[in-house]
Structures are given as structure tokens and as C-alpha cells.
Amino acid sequence: MERKLFLVQSLIWVMILLGQIHEHQSCIEKERKGLLELKTSLLLSGSSFIASFDETFNTWTNDTVSDCCRWERVKCSPTTKRVTGLALSKLNFLNQSLLNLSLLYPFEELQSLNLSARWSNGFSALFDDLEGYKSLRRLRKLEVLVLSINTFNNSILPYLTSATSLTTLFLRDNKMDGSFPMKELKDLTNLELLDLSENRFNGSIPVQELARLKRLKVLDLSGICELKNLEELDLSRNKLMGEFPMCLTSLTRLRVLDLSSNEMAGEVPSAISSLESLEYLSLFHNEFRGFFSLGSLANLSKLKVLKLSSISNSLQVESEGSWKLEFQLHVIALRSCNLGKLPHLLLHQKELRLVDLSNNRLHGNNSFTNFQLPKSAHKLLLLDVSANELSQPFPENIGWILPNVLHMNLSKNSLQGKLPYSLGNMEKIYYLDLSHNDNKLSGPIFPEPTNLTSLTVLTLDNNQFDGKIGDGLLNSSYMSVLDLSNNYLTGVIPSWIGNFSLLNTFLISNNLLEGRIPVSLFNITNMYLLDLSANRLEGDIPRLNSYSGYLFLQDNNLSGYIPDSLLENVSILDLRNNRLSGNIPKFVNTQNINILLLRGNKLTGHIPVQLCGLSTIRLLDLSNNRFNGSIPSCFSNISFGLWKEDEANYYDYTFSLWSIDTFGADSEIKIQFAAKRRYDFYMGQTLGFMSGLDLAENELSGEIPAELGDLVDIRALNLSHNHLSGVIPESFSKMKDLESLDLSFNILHGQIPSQLTKLSSLAVFNVSYNNLSGIIPVKGQFSFDETSYIGNPFLCGEPTNRSCTNNTLEETPVDVGEDKEDMIDNVRVFLVQILMWVMIVMGQIHRYKSCVEKERKGLLELKTSLLLSGDNEDYIFETWSNDTVSDCCSWERVKCNRTTRRVIGLAFHELSLIGLPLVINLSLLYPFEELQTLNLSKSWVEGFNASFLEGYESLRRLKNLEILVLSYNQFDNTVLPFLSSAKSLTTLFLRGNNMDGPFPAEELKYLTNLELLDLSRNRFDNSTPVQGSLAGLRKLKALDLSRNEFTGWGQLQGKFRICELKNLQELDLSHNKLIGEFPLCLTRLTALRVLDLSSNQMSGKVPTAIGSIESLEYLSLFDNDFRGLFSLGSLANLSKLKILKLSSVSSSLQV
């Protein structure tokens, strides 16, 4: 025994000694020099590297001591010390590089060569001035060649023909195209793995020729039914069409079959059951149809991964039967398979790691609490049951039964109740999506401390969460995406969110948050998308100290100046509808910003010339402010051009933190911009192709610069509601892509240039309310109705009713008679100036006539009542002074009739009063008997009260009241009885309040003078029968019921009698939950110009009878569930149609 031990010890010492000897044996000198030559060539050919010399080849030193076998990227044989492997991958060239293959000659024992790149600037070609295409035959032992993720084209293929020793060849993700390269590959008979994926090869697959590659086991390009030894076949992410090729079922050695992300149709064959060696089967993301039973897979005892889905939504998968799956799956993904209910087979699966049952119309209780999973300890890592119809309360114990889940998506269901306490126990989860649960999830968001320490993505948007944001997420320091938008959250934004240093996306828009913006939010260096819009935030905007890609602060009560750092550190900046003042700040960096929206503030001063340096700007909206002076002529330096296609896709902003077959959350950038008489949202590629300039509703003066005509790529230009003078520049005819041009409400004179008829893309043209004269040009596409020209008494011809006489109104040719035309224009200007002086003098006379004393006292009483509602300051009504000198008609927020000096308008919008929500005493309005317009929008009003005598009849005292604006307040249904007596109303806005229940037809039926009714952004529904109808509102022209909760058409057509409103011109029912088919009675509303039924759940066919609504200019049936065939020819006679939007989430609509 001792002798054996001695021998073993001796043997060990001999092995150690030999190891030491070999350790001191250096690499072959010829190969060491070869490596140094290769290094020098690479550094020179790629114009150096992004990484420095020392970082890339820091161990490759030119000295006699260094052993090249120990150099990074080099592998040697431990016995011969010959180089057997070179890993020249991810070199990070600054430019594309060529590789001289002759530099590889010294490495005669080379077995593995990796030249794959990290980005696009890798190798682009091979060359060899000595051997030419035969170069690789010198490397007789080369078995593995990796050329993936470079920019090689087909010129590389001839070099491969001589590499006959290859067993593995990767050419993935290059720029090769054309037919399959069989000619170049046919002699590589030792190949076992071939990857040609993510190129652009096309045409047929040469089955007979590829059969020569007898040893091929893995082919990543196409199915070859003759390769009987094939074990892995990957044809994913191509464009394969037709049915599943039955010959594949004869490849009985297949372990992996991946045909995902193609366009295959027909039925999934049950003959797949013959592939008994299958371990991985993915038919994900195709267009399969018909019936398929999971029982067909019962004998695939080795199957671990099963993925099946169809984008056609016409695949019916049977998940239950007399059969039983005896094997244990690790992954089951059955997306869009019309399951209907949770598969019972999951009860027997104890090894599941991933379950995806999304978009299957799963409904009912169906043991949602445990997802039909076995009761043993769960190993589940990913769970996705999104886009179903699960409606039960959120399970209380979910955090205890699924403790290991990393990714969970329960969005787009109808889950109810509050977030369970157990959810905070899921300390491993880093992706949680509970968004869009039909606004059924409610209560506070994690009010108690949690253990969600790994959470990276949390999306809770579009629910009914309320209350203050608690400290439950305080420890989620890895958070990168947080979406709490479209809820009812109150209180302030917690400052501790600014401690999330990895946060790049924070969305909390459309809530009821108050207070100031935490400075800490603007100091997060990784922040890329920050959306705090549509809240009640106030105070100054903090300075932005680092780059933030997209910043949305619109629709708040922010005040103060715009920090200059904002304009230099954003790509998109939206500050619309706040109370910002001062000038646009000066800034230096003009390269970042692409979209700048400042509409609806109190900005003053001249438009700064620095804006002309915004070289990448596409949308610029400065409208509805108090800018004065002239329009800078240097605006012509801004291209306002279109994005390139790849840049347009850039605004399809999506975030996806963990993707297994695109499991992820998406958020899309939406931008609102005025064009074509509508204030629409633009998103995705539509946003990328939109460009425009809006300077409307300011105090700009002077002439329109002719240089603006150089904006040849702009699509929308709005200069309306200013004091612009002079003529319309003829240079506007160069704006070849212009679709919308609005010059209305200015003091322009002269003729409409006939050159504008060249604008073939122009869909909206408005020059109303100016001093234009002469013949209206009409030619081709340049033909508009009289609304485009109203308020110009000296215009004549079509479409006005005024004929053009031969002496004064005849159109002057473009190229002759310019002197005569100028003289006529000068006379007209002189007459207009005299008229203006007369009006000014009359205005001065009236100015000294004060307002009615009764109304002055009434205004002061109204002021006192409003200020007493909370701790408010007098500056809100600083011009309302209690003295005998002050004329109340000159007070802010008051408008009087210029002759009678009676109050006709009160603008109490955006009061931003401090304290409890307002209750307006309507009796305080009694003194204003001539009142025509009352605006109380965005003032936190929650109700009305009145005198005991008048009660609900209070508003009948205001017999001249025509316009009542109550939008964006806290009104509930108690306001409705007060409205029934306001019978003089022509316009009623109740947008964005807290009203719910059935449509208030009973309260509105007496308002027979109504022309516009806006009840959007409330919660009206079909929960109870409608009382009364709107059939009596025969003057109604515009009805907006969008963003409510209407579900069915029955009451809308029946008792509501919407189809009897024959004068209706605009109908918006978008963003509801309307189901059923398109109501044909709508096609009888022949005066309709706008019909928007988008974002509902309507199904059936799109009726051809839409073609009878000949007045339509805007038609949107976007985002519904329509099916069947629809021909655009049905719309051929809609000659006024400018906008058409149609899509179906079912993917079963054929247009």
C-alpha cells in the first residue's frame, strides 16, 4: 500500500515538473511576429479604434520576455504552444475595416477564428493578394469561423469555398442578398452548423444540392427535408408564406424547430406528433387558422418549450380533452389562441418557468388565484395573462403563491379591488404591469412599506388608483420605468422619487396632483421621458441640469419664467396651457430640440431670433400668448423638413426591459398640434412626418415675411388672430407640401395670389376676416367653401355670392397691370385707415362712458365671494378696484358691449384659487342681465347654489346667456338640474368633470337652441335606461361624447335618438367601449363633416353606406374590432374627405 502511494506521489511530481517546463516554453516566434503584424494592420485599416490602444491589445507587447500564448484574444495548444484560436471579436472600429487573409498564414494550427463585431462598423470585406479566393485552404485545421454582425456582402462568399475543414460557419446579420449561396457552400461537406440568418437571401431553397452536406445538424435559414440528421432547424424571422411543410415531420431527429415570426397560414398539422425527439417547438407569431388540439402533442415526451400564436386571431386551440400531457413543460406560450378559459392541463405542470396566455379572451373566475397551476412551490419566473377578460377581484395571496416571479403582466383585463398586501412580498420581481384594467383597480398605491427591492418596471396607468402616493416604493432603488398616469392620485409628487438614480421614464400625467415639481426629479441623470402633464402643479419650473429627451409639463398651473436650461437639454418640450410669463429665454445650444410647444401661456416680448437657429425643429407652437413685434424673417432658415424614415421611427418611443418574444411594455409618444381646423394627436411615424409653425392668437404686427415661402417642406402654417398687415406673399406658392394655411383674423389687404393654386396638397385654406379684395382664384385642388373667405366684403367670385364687376373687382393678371393694382390697393388702404380712425375716435368717446353702476357693484360682490372661498390674494382681480373713477368695462376678465356698456362676458377660467373647491352662488350673476358668455373652466368649481326663490331655475334670469364653459372642474351630476333652465344656450362645455351614470338627456332636452354640446372626459355610461331624448335639439351641430364609458348603441339610437339630429356636423364618440356593429342610422346624418368612432370595440363589417355621408371631411374608425372586406371605393364620392383613419385590432379586416 505504501509503495503504491509512493508511486502516485512520484507521478504527481513528474507531472508538475513537466508542467513547469512547458510553462517556460514560449510560443512559436514565427507566430509571435505574425500576431504583431496582424495587430498593426488592424489598427491602421480601421482608422484606429473607439477603444484606446492599451485597452484593445494591452497584452500584445513587442518584447522577447512576453509569451504570446498568454496574450488576450489568443489561445494556444497546451502541448505544442501553437496558436489554435483567435478571438478578434468586438474590436469597435471607427470605420469599416478590410481583413488581409495572408496575415493568417503563420497560424497553421488555427482551429477557431472569431471576427464578429459589436456594432455595424466591423469588417466589410476580405482580400488576399497572394492566394486570392483560395486563401483559407492554407488553414487546413480551421473548424469554427464566426463572421456575424459585420457588413460583409456577397463578395465574401468565394473566399469560403476553400475552407473545406469547417464544421461551424456563422454569417449571421450581414448584408448578403440574392439566392441561396449553394455554389460557394457545396464543398463544405464537413459542416455541422450553418447560420445565415438576418440577411436578405430570397428565392427557393436548393434541397437536392444541400443534401450533399451530410453532416449538417443545425441549419439556420431554411427547412431541408432531405437532411435526415438535422437536429436543430431555425427559420424564424423570415417571410415564409404558405402552409406548414408536411415533409418537416419526417425529420425525426429534430430537437429544435423554430418557425416563429413568419407569415405561414393554414392549419397547424397534427402530424407534428411524429417528431418525437422535439424539445423546443415555436410556431409563434404566424397567421395560422383553424382548429388545433394540444392532444396532438401528447406523445412528445421530451418537449420542454411550446410556443404558439397567430396574429390572425382565427386560430382555435383546444386545451382540454380525454388526453393528458404526461411530460413537464418549462415554457408554454399560447398567445392569441382563442382559449376562452384557463387550460386545465396547467394543474399538472410542476416545472413551468414561463406562462404566456395573453389575448385569449379568458373570462370568469377560472381559478385565477392560482392560474390553474399546481399547488406545489412554484418555480414560475414569467407570467403573462394580459389582454383578456378576467374580471374577478385581485387575488389577495398572489404574492405568497408566486414568490419567485420576475415578470408579471396582468394588464388589459377587468381586475377589481385594491392592490393586495402580499404583492409587496415579491422581492424578486422586476417587471410588473397592471395597467389598463378597465379602470377597475382602485385604492392607494402601496401605502405600506414593501420588499419590492428588485422592481425595475412598474406600470399602473389607466386605473382608478387614488389618494396620496405612499412610501411603499421607497426601497425600489432599481426602478427605471414608472407609469402612474391616468388615475386619480392626489397630494404632491414625493421628492424621494428623485433618489431613483436609474429612473429613465416617469409618467404621472392626468391625475389630481398639486404642489410644486420636486427639484430632485430634474437632477436624475438617466431621465429620458418625464411626463407630469394634466395635473394641478404650480410654482416655478426647476432648472434642468442634465439632458432629458422628452419633457411634458402641459396643462398645469405652472408660473414664472422658463429656465434657459430647458431649451438646451430636451428633444421635446411641451409647456402648453400653463401660466408662464416673461420672454422666451436666450439659449446657445440649438441642436437638440425637435418639438417646442408653448401654446396657451402669458409669454410676452418679441419672438427671439435665436429660434431661427433651431436647425432640427419640426413642430413650433407659440400660439395663444402675448408676443408682439414682427415675425422674424430668419424663420426661413429653419427647414421644418420631414424626418427620414429611421428618424420618424425614433418617435415610436417604446420601452421593453425584458423581452422573451417581445414580452414588454410599450408607451407611445403623442403630440398635440393644430392643423386642418382640428387639434389632433400625432404619434409614431405620423408624428415623424408632421411639421408645422403656429403663431396664432398673439399680438404680432407688420407684414408677413416673404422669406417664409422658403419653408418648402412645412405642412401646417397658422398665423391667424394677429395684427398682421400687408399682402399675402406670392412666395407661399413654393410650399409644395403645405396642407393647412390659416391667415384669418388679421388686417391683410390686396388680392389672393393666383400662384397659390399650385399648392396641390393644400386641404385647408382660411383667410376669413381680413381686408382682401378681388377675384378668388379657383383651380384644381385649390377650391374651398365660403367659410374660408367670410369677413372680406371686397372679395368676389366663387364661392361667395358676389359677382365681380368689370371696373373694380376684376382679377388682375399676375404679370401685367401691377401699377394699376397697386393704385387700387392704396385707395383701399386709405379708406380702411379712415374707417379705423373713425372707429378709434368712437372708441375714445365710449371709453369715457363708464359701466352700469349696478353691474360694477355686482362684480365687486362676486370678487368678494370668490376670494372668501379660501386664503386668496387680491392680485387675482387686481384691476377690480372699488373707486368711482375705475371703469369696470376695462377690468380684466370682463367684457362689455361697446355701446350699451352692459357686461356681456365674464372669464373666470384658470382662477387657481386656494382653498376648498368652489361652489358658485348663481344669484350673484343676476345683475348681469345682458350676459352672453360665462367661462368657469379650470377653476376647481364643484357646484352651484342659488336663492331659495329661484333654485334650479336660476339661469333663466340670464336670458341672453349663449355660451357656458364649465370644463375641467369638479362638477358631478348635481349641476345638471341647474342647466335645464338655461334655454338660451347655444354652446355648452362640460368636458373633464366627475359626472357619471346615464346620459343626461332629461336635463338637456329643453336646451333647444344648443348648437355645440361637449360632455367628453366624464364617466357617462349605459348602466341605467336613459330618460328623455335629444331629438328636440334640432339645431345641434357638434356633439362630443368622447372618453366616457358608453358600451352599447341601443340607447344611443333608441331613447337618445342620436340619429334624428339631422343638422349634426360633428360627432365624436371616440375612446368609449362601444360594442356591436356600425349603426347604419348614422349614415342618414348627411350634414356630418366630422365622424370619430375610434378606440372602441365595434365589430362586424364597415358598411359601404358610409359613402352616403357626402359632407364628411374627417372620418376615423381607428382601433376597433372590425372584420371582413371593405373597399375604399365606397368612399369615392366623399369629395370633401381630408382625413381617413381605419384600423382593426382583430387583424381580420381586409381593405
Q: Which residues pair with 505 in a beta bridge?
A: 481, 529
pLDDT at 55 over 80: no
Q: How confident is the model at residue 833 (pLDDT cuts 50, 70, 90)?
A: very low
* 741 within 8 A of 765, measured Cβ to Cβ: yes
CA distance 1074 to 1095: 9
pLDDT at 465 over 90: yes
Alpha-carbon separation of residue 740 from 707, 717, 1090, 1132 (angstroms): 18, 6, 17, 23
pLDDT tens by residue, 372-390 = 555 554 788 999 999 988 8
Residue 713: per-residue pLDDT = 87
Name, in order, each residue with C-beta under 8 angstroms of 721's C-beta and a sequence gap of 6 or more. Answer: 696, 697, 698, 744, 745, 746
Among 37-46, 53-62, 188-197, 497-506, which range has the highest average pLDDT?
497-506
Q: Which amino acid is at 192?
A: E
CA angle 23, 25, 30 (to 5 degrees): 135
Q: How many CB atoms lie within 10 A of CB 373?
A: 22
Domain range 995-1151, its CATH number among 3.80.10.10, 1.10.580.10, 3.30.70.1050, 2.40.37.10: 3.80.10.10
Structural domain boundaries of the chain?
30-230, 557-831, 995-1151
Q: Alpha-carbon torsion 150, 156, 157, 163, what sign?
A: negative
Residue 681: per-residue pLDDT = 59
In Å, how far from its chain's centre is CA 378?
A: 36
pLDDT tens by residue, 1014-1024 = 999 998 887 66
pLDDT at 811 over 50: no
Q: How many CB atoms lie within 10 A of CB 289?
A: 16
Residue 720: per-residue pLDDT = 93
Alpha-carbon separation of residue 927 from 935, 977, 1094 (angstroms): 17, 22, 45
Average pLDDT along the chain: 82
* 484 within 8 A of 464, measured Cβ to Cβ: no
pLDDT tens by residue, 148-190 = 988 899 999 999 999 999 999 999 888 998 888 888 888 898 9
Residue 664: per-residue pLDDT = 36
Identify the CA nearest to 1008 among candidates 1032, 975, 1041, 1038. 1032
* 692 within 8 A of 675, measured Cβ to Cβ: yes
pLDDT at 1045 over 60: yes
Supply 193's cell numbers.
452548423
Question: 905 in helix, strand or coil?
Answer: strand
Three-state SS string across 1015-1079, please?
CCCCEEECCCCCCCCCCCCCCCCEEECCCCECCCCHHHHCCCCHHHCCCCCEEECCCCCCEECCC
Instruction: State the CATH class of domain 30-230.
Output: alpha beta
pLDDT tens by residue, 984-1037 = 999 999 998 988 888 888 888 888 899 989 999 998 887 665 566 677 788 899
The whole model's pTM is what?
A: 0.61
Name, in order, each residue with C-beta under 8 angstroms of 454's C-beta and a sequence gap of 6 or more. Answer: 406, 427, 428, 429, 430, 478
pLDDT at 562 over 70: yes
Residue 119: per-residue pLDDT = 59
DSSP state of 861: H
| Alpha helix (H) residue ranges in 728-817 | none
pLDDT tens by residue, 230-246 = 888 888 887 778 889 88
Q: How confident is the model at residue 699 (pLDDT cuts 50, 70, 90)?
A: very high
Question: 953 in helix, strand or coil?
Answer: helix
pLDDT at 455 over 50: yes
Three-state SS string across 402-414, please?
CCCCCEEECCCCC
pLDDT at 872 over 90: no
Residue 831: per-residue pLDDT = 46
DSSP state of 804: P
DSSP states of 415-478 as a string? -BBPPPGGGGG-TT--EEE---STT-BEE-SS-S----TT--EEE--SSEEEEE--STTTT-TT
CA distance 173 to 886: 78
Residue 594: per-residue pLDDT = 85
pLDDT at 646 over 80: no
Residue 557 phi/psi, 5-degree rounding, is -120, 35
E strands of 144-209, at which residues? Answer: 144-146, 168-170, 177-178, 193-195, 200-201
Q: Which residues pair with 232 in a beta bridge?
A: 218, 256
Supply 248's cell numbers.
418537416
Q: Report, as an integer, the average pLDDT of 1123-1143.
A: 90
Question: 331 in helix, strand or coil?
Answer: strand
CA distance 415 to 418: 9
pLDDT tens by residue, 483-529 = 999 999 999 999 999 999 999 999 999 999 999 999 999 888 888 89
pLDDT tens by residue, 1061-1086 = 888 999 999 998 888 889 888 888 88
Q: Which amino acid is at 725?
A: S
Beginning with the edge strand found earlier in the chain, give each strand of the sheet holding 579-582 in spatial order. 538-539, 557-560, 579-582, 602-606, 626-629, 699-703, 723-725
Name, in order, each residue with C-beta under 8 angstroms of 257's C-beta and a sequence gap of 6 or more. Answer: 233, 248, 275, 278, 280, 281, 282
Three-state SS string across 962-978, please?
CEEECCCCCCCHHHHHH
Q: Report, as an integer, the average pLDDT of 295-308.
A: 92
Q: How confident is the model at residue 565 (pLDDT cuts 50, 70, 90)?
A: confident
pLDDT tens by residue, 885-914 = 778 888 888 989 878 889 999 988 877 555
- Percent of the chain predicted with pLDDT > 70: 81
30-230 and 557-831: identical CATH topology:
yes
Q: How many CB atoms lie within 10 A of CB 780?
A: 9
**Omega into 393 within 30° of 0, i.e. cis?**
no
E strands of 561-698, at which residues? Answer: 572-574, 579-582, 595-597, 602-606, 619-621, 626-629, 670-675, 678-683, 692-694
Domain range 557-831, its CATH number among 3.30.1950.10, 3.40.50.720, 3.30.1960.10, 3.80.10.10: 3.80.10.10
Query: Poorest-confidence range of 325-329, 1048-1052, 1082-1086?
Result: 1048-1052
User: Could you identify the residue written with the cell 421611427?
Assistant: 649
CA distance 465 to 119: 43
User: Could you identify the residue written with the cell 339645431?
Assistant: 1035
Q: Alpha-carbon torsion 713, 714, 715, 720, what sign?
A: negative
Q: Report, as an integer, the average pLDDT of 927-950.
A: 81
Q: How many CB atoms lie within 10 A of CB 44?
A: 10
DSSP state of 313: S
Alpha-carbon separation of residue 79 from 29, 84, 107 (angstroms): 16, 11, 16
